[in-house]
A = this chain, B = another copy of it.
């Protein structure tokens, strides 16, 4: 884990008190942008903190969600996946390798009249299919 000061500031600037678990989880999320599951995060952080409990990871995830430094993805798989990139962007889930690929969304043109006076707080775009790699092999 490097740049501990950076990680600390990252958390503090989002009103999260730094703790060993939180710093480790953040470090993992920043360096492994694979949209990991809670278990992925647990396994990774447990390497540095052998006493780590699953509950602490769920607590950490809940806190990160609440403070807005990660977003949750519901892909139809049974586990949630999490993304340290919180800006609005699209996700492509490969049905074969289960990898998720990010892509930028410029605009969504939709029938605004149907959502007239609706307060839209979140926009999620999920594509599913087969990624280039999996088609080639």
- Contacts A121-B129, A123-B127 given; does A90 touch B76 at CB 8 Å: no
**Residues of chain A at interface, number, CB under 8 A:** 38
CB pair A127 B124 closer than 8 Å: yes
A135 to B116, CA, bound (A): 12
Copies, count: 2
Name the distance in Å between A73's Cβ and chain B's nearest Cβ.
9
Find chain B residues with CB under 8 A from A105 CB.
108-111
- Contacts A72-B76, A109-B105, A110-B105 given; does A122 touch B127 at CB 8 Å: yes
Q: Which A residues are closer than 8 A to B by beta carbons? A: 72, 74-76, 90, 92, 95, 101-111, 114-132, 135
